[in-house]
C-alpha cells in the first residue's frame, strides 16, 4: 500500500517536474525568438549593405569602402570566447568616442535612430536603446565558436 502511494506521488512529481521543464523551455523560446527576428530585420535594413546579411563583412557596397567592415560573427572569438556585449553596444551607438579609434566609417547609429524616433519625443532614448539591443541580440546569435 505504502509503496503504491509512494509510486503514485513519485510519478505525479515527475509529471510536475516535466511540465515545469517544458514551461521554462517554451517561455525561454517565446522571448528570445521574436527579439532575434526583430534584430535580424533591423540588421537587414541598416547594416547588411556593408556587413552582409550573414554579418561576415561582405555587403554589396564593401568594395567602395576605404575600411573593410568587420566580420561580426567573430566578436566572441576575438574576445576570448565571451560576447563583448557593452563594447559592441558602444561601437554601434557611436555617440561616445572610443579611445584609440580615429575616424570611423561606421555611421553613428545612436544619432540616426534618435532622429528617426523624433529627437524631442519623450521615450525617444528608450526607442534608440531598444533598437540597438535587438540588433545585439541578433549579433549574439550569429557568433561562431
Residue in 60, 107, 118, 123 binding ligand HEC, rule: CB under 6 A: 107
Binding status of residue 69 toward ligand HEC by CB under 6 A: yes
Candidates 105, 145, 122, 133; CA nearest to 32 is: 133
C-alpha cell at 1: 500500500
By the 8 A CB rule, do 64 and 81 touch?
no
Binding status of residue 35 toward ligand HEC by CB under 6 A: no
Residue in 39, 73, 76, 92 binding ligand HEC, rule: CB under 6 A: 92
Residue in 36, 38, 49, 124 binding ligand HEC, rule: CB under 6 A: 49
Tell me which residues in 126-145 interact with ligand HEC (CB under 6 A).
135
Candidates 114, 64, 102, 70; CA nearest to 88 is: 70
- Residue span binding ligand HEC (CB under 6 A) among the ranges 2-10, 26-34, 103-111, 121-129: 103-111
Can you say whether residue 80 is alpha, beta or left, with left for phi > 0 and alpha for psi between -120 and 50 degrees? left
Residue in 106, 117, 124, 137 binding ligand HEC, rule: CB under 6 A: 106
Candidates 89, 117, 94; CA nearest to 104 is: 94
For cell 540597438, the residue is: 132
Using CB under 6 A as the criterion, which residues of the chain lie in contact with ligand HEC when the complex forms?
A: 46-47, 49-51, 65, 67, 69-70, 72, 75, 88, 91-92, 104-107, 109, 135
Amino acid at each position: 500500500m505504502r509503496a503504491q502511494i509512494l509510486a503514485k506521488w513519485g510519478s505525479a512529481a515527475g509529471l510536475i517536474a516535466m511540465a515545469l521543464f517544458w514551461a521554462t523551455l517554451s517561455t525561454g523560446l517565446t522571448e528570445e525568438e521574436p527579439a532575434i527576428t526583430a534584430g535580424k530585420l533591423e540588421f537587414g535594413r541598416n547594416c547588411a549593405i556593408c556587413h552582409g546579411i550573414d554579418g561576415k563583412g561582405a555587403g554589396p557596397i564593401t568594395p567602395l569602402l576605404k575600411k573593410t567592415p568587420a566580420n561580426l560573427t567573430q566578436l566572441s572569438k576575438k574576445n576570448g570566447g565571451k560576447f563583448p556585449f557593452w563594447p559592441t553596444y558602444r561601437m554601434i551607438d557611436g555617440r561616445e568616442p572610443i579611445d584609440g579609434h580615429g575616424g570611423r566609417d561606421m555611421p553613428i547609429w545612436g544619432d540616426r535612430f534618435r532622429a528617426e524616433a523624433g529627437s524631442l519625443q519623450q521615450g525617444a532614448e528608450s526607442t534608440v536603446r531598444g533598437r540597438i539591443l535587438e540588433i545585439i541580440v541578433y549579433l549574439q546569435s550569429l557568433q561562431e565558436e
